[in-house]
Amino acid sequence: MERRIWGTVQGRTVELFTLNLGKGYQAQITNFGGALVSFLAPDRQGRYANVLLGYDSLEGYIKCTSSLGVLVGRHANRIEDAQFTLGDKTYKLAANDGRNHLHGGPGGFGKVVWEPRVVETPFGEGLELSYVSPHGEEGYPGNLKVQVTYSPTEEAGGLRLDYVAEADQDTVVNLTNHAYFNLAGQGQDSILDHELALYADFFTAINNEGVPTGEIFKVAGTPLDFRQMHAIGDKIDADHEQIRAGKGYDHNWIVRNGGKGLVRAARAEHAPTGRVLEVWTTKPGIQFYSGNFLNTPVHPYRSGFCLETQFFPNSLRFSHFPSAILKQGERYEHSTIYDFSQCNM
């Protein structure tokens, strides 16, 4: 594995690691925020492009407010009113998304330096990142030990993320990666021509703040029906309450058979290049976000999409949602695979 010094932050050395994923596929990862910096993937003609939105320097990730490529925690996505009750105590969190808490807060896992270690995995060298989140960090209870391992898969073109966490008291944990993909390559303006399938029959409804209300709706008959693959742009601006609430797609889909082992949650295709991305996960939910709030010259509006595997957002409010509570003595374990290939279209 290639590794080089990328800079310093918080008095710590930051490195950039290059993982060989076989047949020319490569992923670059930094231990600042655990960010996926780039992913080289060939098109059907064998021409390589970086299919992730990212930055060329550490400074970009330090300043970034869009969570590009980073590990998100302690709790991915939104927590209503920036607070939750655990046992007989209410914990106050940062309100960094209006009145709500988003992606672990402004000082969450995407803004800390992780301890890196190159490790042997079943299919080649991998990168293990470790972090100890102290009790009270961003308002969360308990000292939490987190470990995330990035590794190749048996077939070339796959990147596996294995998440492990343990706490010394009851807390909440909902970890994900916030990679933005554009299968045409970074620098292309739009992802609306990408075709997408989501293997889900239901989604969690949101209010106009993007926060789940506790309602679970069928995708059938709505613009959120991706059971049959179609272009992201087909219905992204449909006159529908949920589309208006998300300003496009920014919803959690309930993965079919999710939480029952490693299952396929999503497939994206880009016909002009032939690039394909499949997402496999052990998580029960996946957030499809169509880049509705991207707004920089480098990363313009809807120039990337996210497929964030997760427990449902705002799950701490609803007993019928899968629980993000991690009990003392229990072990949080989840896995996600980003699997790239080509198809002839």
The CA-atom distances, in angstroms, between 247 and each of 138, 149, 238, 253 are 28, 34, 10, 16
174 in Cβ contact with 311 (< 8 Å): yes
> What is the secondary structure of 223-247 as a DSSP string?
TT--SS-EEGGGSTT-S-HHHHHHT
Paired with 124 in beta bridges are 121
Q: Is the dihedral of CA 188, 194, 200, 203 positive or negative?
A: positive
ω into 4 cis (within 30 of 0):
no
The catalytic residue positions are 178, 308
Joined together, the tokens standing for residue 202 give 């239901």
Q: CA of 152: how far to CAs of 22, 177, 339, 340, in Å? A: 8, 16, 10, 12
- Residue 244 CA to its chain's centroid (Å): 23
Q: For residues 23 and 150, give the distance between their C-alpha atoms in angstroms, rounded to a whole number.
A: 18
CA distances from 305 to 17, 186, 191, 214 (A): 24, 11, 7, 24
192 DSSP 8-state letter: T
